[in-house]
Amino acid sequence: MNNPQISVLIPLLNEEESLPELHNWIKQTLVKHNLSYEILFIDDGSTDKSWKVIQDLNSEDNKVRGVRFNRNYGKTAALQTGFDLVTGDVIITMDADLQDNPEEIPELYRKISEEGYDLISGWKKKRKDPVLSKNLPSKLFNWAARRISDLELHDFNCGLKAYHKDVVKNISIYGEMHRYIPVIAKWNGFGKIGEQVVQHQSRKYGTTKFGLDRFINGFLDLLSITFINKFGQRPMHFFGGLGVLSFFLGAVITIYLILEKLINIWNNLPFRNVTDNPLFFLALVAIIIGSQFFLAGFLGELFVKQGVEKQNKKIRESINLIS
């Protein structure tokens, strides 16, 4: 059996009312454009009848598959699970709340399959969300993401995205890093990334799962992946550098205190013991912290070395050699 042209990957949480309508909308759109497809629903621990609806859809349409988590693990875990399971040449991710329009899928597919893009990110240029609680924080979030990642996208967190299959099979996401998949893809060598203006529908059923705390967590995740990208393969450059700086500062202060005491003794001036000077304790703390930073960098290098050896083994096993 040939792989489908498109895999539609839909993470969801308590969306029982929207699933049948979403399924029909996707099916009608893709059949109309003569595109082969599969639909993979990832039920992220729903407490309503979402899983029963998915089972019914599977009975009606053998192109529908489903995965159910026994509790809520978050959108990132749902997407990563889906990335591991999808079989299509192009993977479309979208939300289950009917705010993403399935009629965008054919054009997203065309840009990946014909124009050679690795990833196309949707851009909800005209949002149907409250201005103060979502639109303004979203603009601030996207501005920060652009500045840090150097990737010119307007809407990093848009759920409607298209990926070449090589992208989803070669990246790994965790925590709440689904917002930064374009950034992670770019830093993994998939550099042809574009965006497409997409329609944003008003929510028809249910309530939003959005909270302002997601912006705080999202910003922390951005700092995390930025650090991993810059120093993930060379932690000693970061921790060792800080360690050397701190150790050097402590050593300089200590030498200064000793020289000051010796000079005072030489000139028959009043002096006090080095350990009686508050600066000595500052120097001692700096030396201890410097040693800890250096040790952290050393341990980090050991872990990286083990990871590189596993990666190199995986690369060797996947090489096709023509000689």
Summarised one tens digit per residue, pLDDT across range 11-58 is: 999 999 999 999 999 999 999 999 999 999 999 999 999 999 999 999
Token digits of residue 100 = 């993403």
Residue predicted with more confidence, 105 or 126: 105
Q: Is 219 exposed, middle or buried (0-12, 13-18, 19+ CB in 10 A)?
A: middle
Full-model pTM: 0.72
pLDDT at 305 > cutoff 60: yes
Angle at Cα 233 formed by Cα 229 and Cα 238, nearest 5°? Answer: 80
Average pLDDT over the chain, rounded to an integer: 83
What are the C-alpha distances in Å from 14 to residues 5, 158, 292? 28, 19, 47
pLDDT at 319 > cutoff 50: no
Out of 226-240, 241-255, 300-314, least confident range: 300-314
Helix, strand, coil percentages (3-state) for the chain, rounded to 5, are 55, 10, 35
